[in-house]
Structure 1
């Protein structure tokens, strides 16, 4: 009986998990992505945010946030806002000053239990202050560079007339947009509104030149696909800002990610989390998203 008991005890000991198996060490916290690119790859506009994505969800956000540093050659107040467990965004109180370098450093090696992780640094290059104002009622976009008007471009904005879930999705959103990216030719289709049948009168599948994206809901500043007679006169688009061929190309060429595009005159308000529309929140509201000051 003793032999049987001893054998059973040995088997139980073999089957029981070791302390390491029962409580595996947590994964290290690292940086998965930083937006925008570094100074050697692009220049950014004066409204640009620093978007940091972590390798996993962050439990102690205050501890991590305290290890995120932003320094600029021409200082301005700024704050972080957590938009998910693994993503934090840095925005300034006022626009960055143009023509300077900004440095971001994540000192994650100093986080308790995160030994062995390397700190990460990225430098950004701020270009000229391109700020555009789109007046959807007067059908014109005025572009300023470093505070001086450099271009007036006739435009046509969203016509309105397609209501979904109480929202007129054909209206251009009014608010402070940022340029998020650009393509010399962008494919635009009617699938965003559920129209995929080529026989449907509302169907379209177009290759649109000089497209600068300004929201996550498909809004761009781009060259008008014909119908030039409406530019500067009336709103005829599905929500984008259409411009003349020469105006759209010029705007595309000067555009930097983070450039400011203010749109006015419509009843549809831009949501603060629609793309990089973080300037839709005032400074007090923005800081509420910080783990340190919120």
Structure 2
């Protein structure tokens, strides 16, 4: 960030502070003060300075008066449009209240009056920076969503971020009840916030990402602010202990459903339903499954809840009915009978946790949704601050 600060005076004294000119003669005497040459008492200054270049767009413009009060301040763009601003109660400082545009020229003009009733004036023009690139960011969950108690907050960037600390400092999470949580960078394009433990049910969450004008490094700047407000729903947790061939659903800690299931094959870690805590990522009434390696394409299944980007779902599989509740024969998904799959599907929210235990393999941490596969200390260590 470039910082410049120059103090402007509306008029400069032509000589010393006092302009008394003494004349001596045979009779003595003193000349009258030339009031027209005495500068106004009020002294105006502005930031950024006149003729400043590459001014950050997120930096407020300020006009300040010393020994006086402001009577008029305008800040206009090249087209003559006025930038909004506010005076402090004492009318000694005016501060712009909306962001500036990239690569634009602005002009300020101000007047102030001091105790001497003289008017001081100040004008100046400056130019804002032109970024090498403007980087778009997206925020999830979206506005007004209702999510499960394991739902992370995710900010994704259209380009790799060099100065991660600058980006992270612009992010703020507010909750209706106190929740301990932290940001972690899962890649150079994604930073997530998750609570230490599952969200308390019915928590209201407001996220503000003031990213416009943030310098990400290498001349890249944030393109726009993004915000979201969402609600955490009821506490529902799915638990699958793969050797049991059962999928249990818990609400507020109490078991509310217990479905027979068939999980990934026990004898092949490549086909296990892996250990770890994942979340419901999507709810799809029907999905098409393809895996040429294992001999199936365009296989349609109903009531599908994706639980990882590794390929695992909870879904109906009537073709595997003979093994459901008896043997693990899937390629990694949790297979349910159709009626049970529908009942679970209807109960699920995006962000519900799914806890898998008993397998020979663990979920890989290569997915962009692997927040709960990391312990809390590891998670906190991935913050840039």
TM-score range, shorter chain: 0.7 to 0.9
Are 2:139 and 1:34 equivalent residues in the alignment?
yes
Change (3 A) 1:185 1:115: closer
For residues 145-167 of structure 1, the C-alpha deviation after alignment (integer angstroms, 9 at most, x for no partner) is 122211001100011455xxxxx
Larger RCO, structure (CA 8 Å, separation 6 or more): 1
Normalised to the residue count of structure 1, the TM-score between the two structures is 0.80
Of 267, 271, 276, which residue of structure 2 is paired with 1:170?
271
Task: State yes or no: 1:221 paired with 2:324.
Answer: no
Query: Is 2:306 the counterpart of 1:208?
Result: no
**Structure 1 match to 2:200:** 97
Q: Quote the Cα distance in structure 2 between the aligned partners of 1:27 and 1:247.
A: 50
What's the offset of the Cα at 1:34?
1.6
**2:212 aligned with 1:119, yes or no?**
no
Which of the residues 179, 189, 195 maps onto 1:86? 189
The farther-off stretch of 47-56 and 267-276 is: 267-276
Query: Aligned residue for 1:16?
Result: none
Q: 2:328 — aligned with what? A: 235
Cα drift, residue 100 of structure 1: 2.1
> Are 1:186 and 2:252 counterparts?
no
Change (3 A) 1:215 1:221: same
Structure 2 counterparts to residues 1-294 of structure 1, below 5 A: 25-31=131-137, 33-39=138-144, 42-109=145-212, 111=214, 118-161=224-267, 168-191=269-292, 193=293, 202-292=295-385
Higher helix share: 1
Q: CA deviation at 1:83?
A: 2.1
From the superposition, tell whether residues 263 and 275 of structure 1 become closer, same or farther in structure 2 (CA, over 3 Å).
farther
Specify the SS of the correspondent of 2:205. strand
CA displacement at 1:275 relative to structure 2: 4.9
Q: Is the 8 A contact 1:157 1:242 kept in 2?
A: yes
CA contact (8 A) 2:213 2:224 kept: no
Separation in 1, partners of 2:250, 2:360: 25
- Higher fraction of strand: 2
Q: 5+ unaligned residues in a row in structure 1: which ranges? A: 1-19, 163-167, 196-201
Q: 1:75 to 1:273 in 2, by over 3 A?
A: farther
CA distance in 1, matches of 2:222, 2:310: 40
Query: Aligned pair in 2 of structure 1 residues 151, 29: CA closer, same or farther (>3 Å)?
Result: same
Q: Structure 2-normalised TM-score?
A: 0.62
CA 1:115–1:142: 2 relative to 1, 3 Å: closer
SS of 2:240's partner is strand
> Partners in 2 of 1:142 and 1:232 — Cα distance?
12
Give the superposition deviation at 1:52. Answer: 0.7
Q: How many residues align?
A: 256
The gaps in structure 2 that reach 5 residues or longer are: 1-102, 104-128
Distance 1:186 1:220 in 2: 10
CA displacement 1:120-146 (0-9 Å, x = unmatched): 211111111110101111110110112
In 2, the alpha carbon distance for the partners of 1:116 and 1:142 equals 44
Larger Rg: 1 or 2? 2
1:214 and 1:34 mapped to 2: Cα distance?
A: 20
